[in-house]
């Protein structure tokens, strides 16, 4: 593996390892090693190099929010009075646990956030009492997701 100008070059073995772990991060290293045709130590070494390069950003378990009663996903475009309010607005948004993502965007909105709530009433509370009360927020535009139809990572 070579790192050139922040670009990581990976070979076929790296790709096989990554594909296996992306399909199921709990796949045992020795199982991957058998399928790829290299030793377990080689897999560990390659994974350390991939982590060091920054390509691997970690691993995690994925919680199914529906099991916890969170069924309403929404995207909220936030209009700020002025761009200078962005850092403070983001600081306040970080304090709202229902805000899962926050993006600084081009276009009409200053900020686009992804929010997960238990239901529409919960969403309305988050919008009215939490988000719209942030200093510098002039208004919001909300889109409720009816169904997530694609959920994937970049192809390796």
Q: What is the mean pLDDT of the chain?
A: 94
> Is residue 24 domain-resident?
yes
State residue 3's pLDDT score.
45
State residue 57's pLDDT score.
87
The CATH number assigned to the domain holding 122 equals: 3.30.70.920
> Is residue 118 domain-resident?
yes
Sequence-ordered alpha helix ranges (H) in the chain: 12-23, 29-36, 40-53, 86-94, 120-125
The reply to whether 131 and 82 lie within a common domain is yes
State residue 6's pLDDT score.
66
Residue 97 belongs to domain spanning? 65-145
* Counted domains in the chain: 2
> Over 50: is that where the pLDDT of 4 sits?
no
> Over 90: is that where the pLDDT of 15 sits?
yes
Q: What is the pTM of this model?
A: 0.85
């Amino acid at each position: 593996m070579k790192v050139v100008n922040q670009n990581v070059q990976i070979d076929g073995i790296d790709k096989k390892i990554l594909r296996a772990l992306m399909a199921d991060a709990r796949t045992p290293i020795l199982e991957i090693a058998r399928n790829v045709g290299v030793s377990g130590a080689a897999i560990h070494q390659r994974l350390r190099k991939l982590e060091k390069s920054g390509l691997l950003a970690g691993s995690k378990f994925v919680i199914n929010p529906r099991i916890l009663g969170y069924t309403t996903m929404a995207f909220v475009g936030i209009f700020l009075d002025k761009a200078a309010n962005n850092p403070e607005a983001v600081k306040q948004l970080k304090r709202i646990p229902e805000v899962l993502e926050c993006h600084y965007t081009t276009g009409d909105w200053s900020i686009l956030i992804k929010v997960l709530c238990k239901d529409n009433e919960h969403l309305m509370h988050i919008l009215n009492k939490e988000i719209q009360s942030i200093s510098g927020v002039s208004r919001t535009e909300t889109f409720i997701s009816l169904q997530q139809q694609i959920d994937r990572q970049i192809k390796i």
